[in-house]
Amino acid sequence: MMGLPMMTILIFLPLAAAIVVAAIDRKKTGALYGVGLAGSLAALALAAVVFVRFDPDQAALQFVERMAWIPSAGVSYHIGVDGISLPLVMLTAVIMPLALLSAWGSIAERIKEFVFSMLVLETALLGTFLAADLVLFYVFWEAVLIPMYFIIGLWGGPRRSYAAVKFILYTMTGSALMLVAIITLYLHSGPSLGARTFDLAQLRQLRVAMPLQAWLFGAFALAFAIKVPVWPLHTWLPDAHVEAPTAGSVVLAAVLLKMGTYGFLRFLLPLFPQATLQFAPLLSALAILGIIYGGIVSWAQPDVKRLVAMSSVSHLGLVTLGVFVMTVPAMQGSLLQMVNHGISTGGLFLIVGVLYDRTHSRLLGDYGGVAALMPRLAPLALIVVLSSLALPGTNGFVGEFLILLGTFRANPVYAALATSGVILSAVYLLWMYQRVMQGPVAVKERARMTDLTRREQWLFIPLIALIFWIGVYPSPLLRRSEASVRALVQDVRERGNAAHLASHESRVTSHDR
């Protein structure tokens, strides 16, 4: 078993399932979904093995696989997992089977293409989180866009093509600049490292001088910030969510947005430590603006899906803040909160999907009193809502508390401002819960509001289990991220400050000359 290329198998297992799906007769709905589910569940099982075998005390990449890919250009197939990518790999592996299961019965057209797209998407996502070479990362990063474009554009709502085009143009704009920055780094790596390379570990040794480092930082930061999305680059998100089918929204919110925050941690911070320290106040300020703005705007949304989408802007603002205050608890909290947001917001979109399948409406005004008609859904929905508003005992609290703790240590004012998110999330989420679930029954066609089917119940049971598990006993996750996070924080602080001093000295000497 040890000799097997575990990570490669993990990444390409869904793709293999996709190829099998391509060979199945398109009329065999059960077989299509069955193979899709089996493929994603197999990936989950493998990810679980990795999780158990992962050595929490090691900060560096584990399960490393490395081969030359395009040696002449310094490109290698270099993958591996550490405490920063492990939570996101687990999240992806948990969410994909649920997303597929949510589509079973909901998406009835072009099922073959749909399952195929979802599996390709999973491979691209896993690759994005596991790549340790910039070209390999970029290939996976861009590969995510293609299946997602089709998922929104083919199975989406009435304005799906507008949303899909907006999604792809917006994110491509950022990615294009990132590609320029990657190539610039590559060109710079030759003189100082001996040979040009795209390898992340080697590029981390590179000391890019300051004005250029700031530009490269800006290019990477923009690509990632659009993906998160950091305020005010967020307007593609509500449109994409509103038009995407449930499964698409779930994956988009739960996993795709984390590509941005993961990118911050994996690439932005270690490659540009000096610029990171310099621009951290700016990004923190935008993050706080996002927390407050997203929270307030969510409250005034008449459309449930748009409400949940805007809440992501607020929640991911907190995650972003946790990244840039550069303390160990905040960064660990951020990583955990990426997972938590995937669980809770994924769950919220599943709830919206369950309701939409019955009423074909996303408007709060068309609901009311659903708890009386769907007594099995009501408590499950409430638990997801409570997780999203970070009630102690649920996963959300652990993440939020650690972020706020780490933020407070760095800057109490930031923490005080960010704490307003605690109030705002209660305002808009309980408002949503009341409008949909409580009050007198206001749904027009009562007969359609049948309670959860067995399949639908199984969408929520794993999420609820995770909500309580992480809320009560988060140690298995926190322990695995600690070493890598500690090393990263230390590295950024040391090299960021040292580089700062060095450039300061060189400026002084050049002035003297």
Q: Any contact of residue 60 with another protein (CB under 8 A)?
A: no
Q: How far apart are CA 105 and CA 113, in angstroms?
A: 15
Q: Distances from the Cα of 422 to the Cαs of 150, 348, 380, 471, in angstroms? A: 36, 18, 21, 16
**Burial of 447 by CB count in 10 Å (0-12 exposed, 13-18 middle, 19+ buried)?**
exposed
Residue 344 within binding range of another protein, rule CB under 8 A: no
* Beta carbon nearer to another protein, 18 or 168: 168
CB closer to another protein out of 363 and 422: 422
- By CB atoms closer than 10 A (0-12, 13-18, 19+), residue 312 is buried
Would you count residue 108 as binding another protein (CB under 8 A)?
Answer: no
Q: Is 226 in the site for another protein (CB under 8 A)?
A: no
Q: What is the DSSP string of 100-124?
A: HHHHBTTB-SSHHHHHHHHHHHHHH
Return the SS3 of 69: strand
- Smallest distance from the beta carbon of 236 to another protein, in angstroms? 8
DSSP state of 337: H
Contact flags string 311-340 toward another protein, x per CB under 8 A: ----------------xxx--xx-------
Token digits of residue 83: 């405490």
Minimum distance of another protein from residue 313's CB (angstroms): 10
**C-alpha dihedral (280, 284, 285, 288), degrees to nearest 10:** 180
Q: Among 196, 204, 207, 486, which residue interacts with another protein (rule: CB under 8 A)? A: 486
- CA-based Rg of the chain, rounded to a whole angstrom? 22
Give the one residue of 204, 409, 493, 500 binding another protein; rule: CB under 8 A: 409
| Of 211, 281, 365, 392, the one binding another protein by CB under 8 A | 392
Q: What's the min distance (Å) between Cβ of 475 and another protein?
A: 6
Stretch that binds another protein, among 70-78, 116-124, 198-206, 479-487 (CB under 8 A): 479-487
Q: Is 206 in the site for another protein (CB under 8 A)?
A: no
Binding of residue 297 to another protein (CB under 8 A): yes
**Is 149 in a helix, a strand, or coil?**
helix
Confirm or reject binding of residue 87 to another protein (CB under 8 A). Answer: no
Instruction: Give least dist CB 386 to another protein, A.
Output: 7
Query: Does the footprint of another protein cover residue 405 (CB under 8 A)?
Result: yes
The yes or no reply on residue 278 touching another protein (CB under 8 A) is: no
Q: Does 415 bind another protein (CB under 8 A)?
A: yes
| CB proximity list for 327: less than 8 A, separation 6 or greater | 406, 407, 409, 410, 489
Which of 271, 313 has the CB closer to another protein?
A: 313
* Three-state secondary structure readout of 436-500: HHCCCCCCCCHHHCCCCCHHHHHHHHHHHHHHHHHHHCCHHHHHHHHHHHHHHHHHHHHHHHHHH
* Minimum distance, C-beta of residue 422 to another protein, in the bound complex (Å): 5
Q: Helix (H, G, I), strand (E, B), or coil: what is residue 208?
A: coil
CB 377, min distance to another protein, A: 13
Q: Which of 143, 172, 183, 391 binds another protein (CB under 8 A)?
A: 391
Residue 426 near another protein by CB under 8 A: yes
Does residue 402 interact with another protein by CB under 8 A? yes
Q: Segment contacting another protein (CB under 8 A): 191-199, 263-271, 353-361, 388-396? A: 388-396
Q: Is 232 in the site for another protein (CB under 8 A)?
A: yes
d(CA 263, CA 220): 8
- Site membership for another protein, residue 441 (CB under 8 A): yes
**Contact between 104 and another protein (CB under 8 A)?**
no
Residue with tokens 């910039």: 134
**Separation CA 18–CA 443 (nearest Å):** 39
| Size, binding site for another protein by CB under 8 A | 60
Under the binding rule (CB under 8 A), the answer on residue 408 touching another protein is yes
62-70 and 75-81 as β-strands: parallel, antiparallel, unpaired?
antiparallel
Residue 369 Rama label (left phi>0; alpha psi -120 to 50; beta): left
116 binds another protein (CB under 8 A): no
Nearer to another protein (CB atom), residue 232 or residue 365: 232
Which has the closest alpha carbon to 46: 106, 104, 1, 101? 1
Task: Give the residue among 55, 69, 53, 40 at the shortest CA–CA distance from 6.
Answer: 53
Residues 132, 61 contacting (CB under 8 angstroms): yes
- By CB under 8 A, name the binding residues for another protein: 166, 169-170, 232, 234-236, 293, 296-297, 299-301, 327-329, 332-333, 369, 371-372, 379, 386, 391-393, 397-398, 401-402, 404-406, 408-409, 412, 415-416, 419-420, 422-423, 426-427, 430-431, 434, 437-441, 472-475, 478-479, 482, 486
